[in-house]
Structure 1
């Protein structure tokens, strides 16, 4: 769904969290009126419709912009879906209009670090890139039209509402997680992989031949499937190397853990897919200067002679 499709509808934003409030601001900035509704018995900000009145608004809505935290297994969601009420999300609305300048990353683990690495590498190559999405920065107008790339982390909750794919999609991994929200592992996988199901140009995966790669291929249509290895990027327990570009030891990075070499390889492949074969040596060198996100295997200062993570 596109933003302009909401203009003539009675729009209800379901949820008053960070993304719900961001959706309200985004629609207001586009001249589209909306009402925020919160069902259940929890507290809500001033001006938000709650209780029975909120449920009545949702049932009569011309379109609902749903916050990510509301599960698909929730009885009220199922009732609204079965009644045919159009349900979208801020992520879906934004991605539909901006897909050509987006690298989006999802996966059970590694998506935040990989997203931040993509932005860092793009910046090191002289491109303007902004980070948004599940990393804590809702998408919207602040992800400006004048940037080269919007690097967007997408959670399974956000992917579940998608009807558009980015130009480059990255799927880092798939393990059982958030199963009550999605209603089981197969539903979780299907919701995650919606990121790649609506015509991306390229999908980057760790290995096209493993279970994840096969699942992605089944939904990705004619998209180019790309892995780091197919670009000549190799990962060992102690280093990452790129044919013709050089190598980089884990000991020379700020990253901790061999798994982060895989995240770095996926980020390098995503940037290469987005820009074309750019300066691969500079891209690889940029990984060494990446500062990891807070609380991801972060070393805690200690004077007792031991390393605390």
Structure 2
């Protein structure tokens, strides 16, 4: 919806008043100062959805599924894409989108370009509609893409595997939301994708955008960077491929990759405390990402002795996680609800009984148990294979709690 259309409406209802909802309110005040604005949020009123019937324009925030609305609506994402004329690089994927977005921003900023990081990882997009002096690098979730009608100049999709089934209802619907990023692109735009993902290779033949697979190698060794793991090798390949579209030299890109500092809670090495190496991978909220984290730590730091698992049960298939834990030789597991009990049952069904196990909702108790049962010189990994919401507000809160308790050991 373009601004002139917004200005035709007298009463604007904003459903959801988190970070994006607040930014949307400021945008409406700027472009339509005479409009009446109604704010509706679940935290203030359990019947907040009734507000949808009180205005002639409804703007829905991403966390509210569309099937809960009975009236036409738009989103801050679509308003941004309809009105912002800056060059846009949009990134999505089941995992790796935050790191890839940050890598692209860092590489471009380090090589003479001006970039602004927006979306899930940065400033709400709608706050930057009129900021045209920089390239906009935008991380987009499947929630934001479910009703997406925009077109970026460059789209990047990192990977695909099952996630957010509770929101989208099915795997097909989840994948279809992701695919919306490239659905309306044209020949003069670029779709950068990981060719190791068969579904993305298939999609590359179904979009009008110019398909650009990740370049197979990097201009530097991963050991020369601060990132670890095969999944981060893929993330850097994505950023490298995008940088080459800007005709940046390999030498410049390599130097930028070497200076990139990893984002918090993503295989973040907290160092040695009480004789144990502690790794914060709170971002890993699916079995696939936890398996990747285990492999990355094994390759770069050494064997993982203790792992923290479990969280909100979204019905994930943990059958591949069990053999990975068994093969890794894990001796201690701390289980968080709700999926922790389910994971433990799967482990036992596959013949793996861990030596030391604890079920808890307390991070203090969890870290103390890990400290007690992890030998000096060993490694403890927070990588829960499930969303954090059963105990914590989000993965950041969980990771912060973990780091705080680890720091207390010294």
Question: Which TM bucket (shorter chain)?
Answer: 0.7 to 0.9
Alignment of 1:129 onto 2:115: yes
1:1-309 to 2 correspondence within 5 Å?
1-9=1-9, 10-32=11-33, 33-38=35-40, 42-44=42-44, 50=45, 55-73=49-67, 76-77=68-69, 79-80=70-71, 85=72, 87-98=73-84, 100-142=86-128, 145-199=131-185, 201-207=189-195, 210-218=198-206, 220=207, 222-229=208-215, 233-234=216-217, 240=218, 247-273=219-245, 275=246, 277-309=247-279
CA distance in structure 1 between the aligned counterparts of 2:205 and 2:36, rounded to whole angstroms: 38
**Cα deviation per residue 1:206-262 (whole Å; 9 max; x = unaligned)?**
1188222213532x2x21000123xxx42xxxxx3xxxxxx3122211112121011
CA contact (8 A) 1:14 1:64 kept: yes
Q: Would you say how many aligned residue pairs link Structure 1 and Structure 2?
A: 275
Give unpaired runs (5+ residues) of structure 1. 45-49, 235-239, 241-246
Q: CA deviation at 1:181?
A: 0.5
Contact 2:23/2:127, CA 8 A, preserved across alignment: no
In structure 2, C-alpha distance between the alignment counterparts of 1:227 and 1:97, rounded to whole Å: 29
Higher-Rg structure is: 2
TM-score, scaled to structure 1? 0.82
**CA distance in structure 2 between the aligned counterparts of 1:16 and 1:162, rounded to whole angstroms:** 20
Q: CA deviation at 1:70?
A: 0.3
Secondary structure class of the residue paired with 1:130? strand
Cα distance in 2, alignment partners of residues 296 and 55 from structure 1: 35
**Are residues 37 and 51 of structure 1, via their aligned partners in 2, closer, same or farther at CA, if it must alter by over 3 Å?**
farther
Secondary structure, aligned partner of 1:272: helix
Higher relative contact order (CA 8 A, sep 6+): 1
Structure 1, 205-214 or 253-262: larger mean CA deviation = 205-214
1:243 is aligned to none
Taking the aligned partners of 2:211 and 2:38, their CA distance within structure 1 comes to: 40
- Tell me, in whole angstroms, the C-alpha distance in 2 between the residues paired with 1:181 and 1:217: 28
Q: Give the TM-score normalised by the residue count of structure 2.
A: 0.63
Instruction: Structure 2 unaligned segments of length 5 or more: list them.
Output: 280-410
Root-mean-square deviation over aligned CA pairs? 2.2
Q: Deviations over 1:14-67 (max 9, x none)?
A: 11111111101111111252523426xx432xxxxx566x54541253221101
Contact 1:104–1:152 under 8 Å retained in 2: yes
